[in-house]
Amino acid sequence: MKKILTTAIVAIFAVGALHAQNKQNPFIGGSMAIDHWSEGDWKITAFELNPQVGFMFNEHWGLALDLGYTYIGEKWDDEEMDSGHAFGLGVSGLYMLKIADKFYFAPTCRIGFMSGKVLNMNGMEDMLDTGDQNTVISADLNLLRFEFRPNHHWGFNLGLGGFGITSVKFEDEDRVNNISFNVMNSAVVGLKYYF
């Protein structure tokens, strides 16, 4: 946890130092996602909240740091089975391309780390072990992401899918790797305030 906090503090100061030199757009914001999977009587619901700070180097390229919280709940036949909570840290590369007045194509590339009581949500019921501390490392390329900027300061984001690689290390068990591709399987909405 100390390493995560130290990395976050260094990244915030680095963003501030770059802003002082380049006079570009730092921003604060974040995203929220709600996902739901079901297979017969088995249901999993996930909620993610990711506050974010970042910096646009120029009108196209940027960098962001996010701190995340994830809640995952599992139900079987409408009875609460288990739930998990995890905290994480991620770094994203951002790209912005204006496609129309106030509308931008805004894909991101993110690398993240998460630790906590995490469920494996890939339909492998035998791998669910929610009582242990687990570690997740992920890399995502979110190609279907867009931003609407009604004015100079505000941006509203919508993510509709992309590619992902996830590696989950269960406590006292092997690592489970997953490669995913989704289009409109789950939506991510976000908000940014540009200074």
Which residue ranges make up each domain of the chain? 2-194
pTM of the entire structure? Answer: 0.70
User: Residue 11: is its pLDDT beyond 80?
Assistant: no
Q: Which CATH class is domain 2-194?
A: mainly beta
pLDDT in tens, 15-58: 555 545 545 689 999 888 887 777 777 787 888 888 999 999 99
With H, G, I as helix, E, B as strand and everything else as coil, classify residue 96.
coil
> Residue 155 is which amino acid?
G
Q: Is 21 left (phi over 0), alpha (psi -120 to 50) or beta?
A: alpha
pLDDT in tens, 123-181: 433 334 455 677 888 888 888 899 999 998 999 999 888 888 888 777 767 777 878 77
pLDDT of residue 91: 94
